[in-house]
Amino acid sequence: MPVHKTTARIQATGELTITHLPFAPGTLVEVLVVGSERSAAEREQEWARLMQAVQALPQAETIIDEDIATEIDRRAVMRQALAAVTQAGTFASIDDASAWQRELRVDRAQPGRED
């Protein structure tokens, strides 16, 4: 289940606009709008409710503790690798990461980006 998390500000008109979503046009998505003024306890309760709902999905039955532990380990290794790249200054000369990526991807087709 692809998930995209972002923050946005409600406009003076009361409208909310979210752009550049990583979903194909016409995709049906579920939208959950949560005010950020909630307390930590309220956010924790909401998270617990969300996790209960996710764990109730049929797909969750195929996830075992070993898979979770493997993913946690994989993320730890990735975190260490990224820290090493940062410490080495590998990308320190890149001022605008978005422009750099656009330049790298200029030869590749970008779905939904014909411009």
Q: pLDDT tens for residues 30-61?
A: 888 887 777 778 888 888 999 889 888 888 88
Neighbours of 21 (CB within 10 A): 13
Q: DSSP alpha helices (H): ranges in the chain? A: 40-55, 65-88, 97-104
Dig out the tokens for 74 from the structure: 């994989």
pLDDT on residue 75? 92
Model confidence pTM above 0.85: no
Kindly report, residue by residue over 91-111, the tens digit of the pLDDT.
889 999 999 988 888 877 767
What pLDDT score does 84 carry?
94
Average pLDDT over the chain, rounded to an integer: 86
* CA-closest candidate to residue 112, choices 30, 28, 23: 23
